[in-house]
């Protein structure tokens, strides 16, 4: 067995198998230049079965998968926490016809092609059993460049990337990174050097900036659940948007939420715990910049904001340095726990930074295990009321159905009418 370790990935070979495991960055994100500065020997994938896993960015998955397929790998699998190993290459023809539900393809000027990965309406991850839908993603097109955009699981990026690489035409392939580079994409394969940033074509550059809606609250208040519900209601309005987990030290990934809903909380925590990091100011500045970048791309960005530091007394709800994240937020929803003074404490904390005038709603979370319901009214320019059922174990559909009546008016107030578009 031979091994090779780069900072960003560990490479091991045993017989006819290759394993590539991505290594978490101490500050969460690797620079794209690692693809060329610390290259992996992907040519050695020829004739071998390849497995890819770990906490890597989607552009890392796309790069490795494309390199393996182009080199002649006999198969490629990626690890998905709640599903196990998913074979993404080669794929069988999908049963039946019709469009694939988890991506859409758009032709761009200059022989470019956009493949946008889509979220489900309930913001859950797609079932990896749908992976065969990637077959024929390019159709009859012979694009000069393919841009992978949108949000998706590693198997989605990998499956599409594998199909592009299988064409054998050296198609320039780039992944869009809206949180980091709002007007550029990173090259992951093709004629140019991997890791370089490449200007987006005009059709992919948005115009009028949107708005950032932040949800603040103490740990355990249900703010992460509320943020996802708000994002789903946003999608129902037809407005373009994004939900961002701003806890760079301890992010709550979609797969972890789904494992909790499936009764696999212990297993999910075992995977999630090693990925946690300690906050520092560089991470805080990074999150603030990412919110600013997303704001340029979307009508409404829902920010699930960090809950503060509660290992000290009194608690630091906005620790020194963390205020830079709050400055990037246009409107706040303050979520307190029913019967406690937590909402008032957050209002006071925001007021210290002259941000209280950005509060659009003050809500109280109660009975997280009860059926979801929102009793919310608008008083004096703010939405106020109580929200029940904010528990990760609740189904996304039940949450949306139960909270829609009380919260949809708030969302509609913040997003432009659908027929306005984003303009230029």
Residue 280 and residue 142 in one domain? no
Per the structure block, which two tokens stand in for 354?
Answer: 């002259």
Q: What is the pLDDT of residue 311?
A: 79
Q: Cα 233 to chain center, whole Å?
A: 17
Give the tens place of pLDDT for each residue, 245-271.
988 766 666 666 666 666 777 777 777
For 163, what's the count of Cα atoms within 13 Å in the CB-facing half-sphere? 24
Long-range contacts (CB closer than 8 Å, 24 or more residues apart) made by 127-131: 127/83, 128/80, 128/83, 128/86, 128/153, 128/155, 130/100, 130/101, 130/102, 131/86, 131/87, 131/88, 131/91, 131/155, 131/156, 131/159
- Give pLDDT, residue 419: 41
CA–CA separation, 298 vs 304, rounded Å?
16
Whether residue 385 is found in the same domain as residue 352: yes
Q: Does 275 score more than 70 pLDDT?
A: no
In a domain, 420, yes or no: no
Greater model confidence, 60 or 168: 60
Query: Which residues touch 300 (CB under 8 Å, ≥6 apart)?
Result: 210, 211, 213, 234, 239, 240, 241, 411, 414, 415
Domain match, 269 and 350 both: yes
Mean of all residue pLDDT scores within the chain: 87
How many domains does one find in the chain? 2
CA 339, 330, 235: angle at the middle one, nearest 5? 85
Closest of 250, 360, 362 to residue 304, by C-alpha = 250
Same domain, 37 and 145: yes
421 assigned to some structural domain: no
411 and 302 within one domain: yes
Rounded to two decimals, the pTM is 0.70
Residue ending a domain, choose from 183, 204, 225: 204
270 and 313 share one domain: yes
Contacts 24+ apart (CB under 8 A), 344-349: 345/317, 346/216, 346/217, 346/218, 346/317, 349/317, 349/318
- The answer to the question of residue 289 being in a domain is yes
One domain, residues 245 and 316: yes
Question: Would you state the structure tokens that stand for residue 169, as one six-digit string?
Answer: 């035409």
Residue 276 and residue 391 in one domain: yes
Instruction: Mark which of 204, 227, 250 sits at the end of a domain.
Output: 204
What CATH number has the domain bearing residue 306? Answer: 3.40.50
Q: Which residues of 367-376 are buried (b: 16+ CB within 10 A; e: fewer)?
A: ebeeebbbeb
Residue among 390, 360, 365, 402 nearest 378 (CA):
360
Instruction: Tell which of 148, 176, 204 closes a domain.
Output: 204
In a domain, 424, yes or no: no
**What is the arithmetic mean of pLDDT over 373-388?**
94
Q: What is the pLDDT of residues 104-156, one digit of tens each?
A: 999 987 778 999 998 887 767 889 999 999 998 998 888 889 999 988 889 99
Q: Is there a domain that residue 422 lies in?
A: no
Residue 404 domain-assigned (yes or no): yes
The pLDDT, as a whole number, for residue 28 is 67
């Amino acid at each position: 067995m031979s091994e090779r370790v780069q900072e960003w990935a560990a490479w091991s070979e045993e017989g006819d198998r290759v394993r590539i495991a991505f290594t978490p960055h101490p500050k969460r994100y690797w620079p794209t230049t690692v693809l060329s500065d610390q290259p992996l020997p992907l040519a050695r994938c020829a004739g071998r079965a390849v497995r890819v896993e770990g906490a890597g960015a989607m552009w890392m998955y796309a790069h490795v998968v494309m390199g393996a397929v182009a080199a002649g790998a006999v198969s490629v699998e990626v690890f998905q926490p709640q599903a196990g190993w998913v074979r993404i290459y080669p794929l069988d023809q999908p049963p039946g016809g019709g469009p694939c539900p988890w991506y859409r393809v758009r032709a761009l000027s200059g022989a470019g092609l956009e493949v946008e990965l889509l979220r489900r309406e309930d913001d859950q991850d797609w079932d990896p059993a749908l992976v065969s839908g990637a077959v024929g993603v390019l159709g009859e097109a012979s694009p000069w460049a393919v841009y992978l955009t949108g949000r998706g699981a590693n198997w989605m990026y990998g499956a599409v990337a594998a199909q592009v690489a299988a064409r054998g035409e050296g198609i320039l392939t780039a992944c869009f990174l809206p949180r980091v580079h709002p007007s550029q994409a990173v090259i992951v394969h093709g004629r140019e050097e991997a890791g370089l940033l490449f200007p987006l074509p005009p059709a992919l550059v948005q115009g009028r900036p949107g708005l950032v809606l932040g949800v603040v609250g103490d740990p355990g208040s249900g703010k992460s659940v509320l943020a996802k519900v708000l994002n789903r209601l946003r999608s129902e309005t037809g407005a373009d948007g994004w939900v961002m987990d701003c806890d760079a030290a301890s992010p709550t990934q979609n797969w972890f939420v789904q494992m909790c809903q499936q009764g696999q909380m212990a297993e999910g925590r075992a995977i999630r715990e090693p990925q946690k990091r300690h906050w520092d100011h560089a991470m805080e500045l990074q999150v603030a910049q990412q919110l600013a970048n997303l704001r340029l791309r979307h009508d409404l960005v829902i920010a699930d904001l960090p809950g503060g530091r509660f290992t000290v007394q009194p608690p630091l709800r906005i620790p020194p340095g963390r205020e830079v994240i709050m400055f990037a937020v246009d409107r706040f929803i303050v979520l307190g726990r029913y019967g406690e003074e937590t909402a008032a404490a957050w209002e006071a904390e925001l007021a210290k930074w002259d941000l209280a005038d950005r509060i659009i709603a003050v809500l109280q979370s109660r009975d997280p295990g009860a059926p979801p319901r929102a009793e919310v009214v608008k008083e004096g320019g703010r939405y106020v009321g109580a929200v029940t059922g904010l528990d990760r174990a609740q189904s996304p559909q039940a949450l949306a159905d139960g909270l829609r009546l009380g919260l949809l008016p708030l969302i509609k107030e913040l997003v432009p009418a659908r027929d306005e578009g984003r303009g230029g």
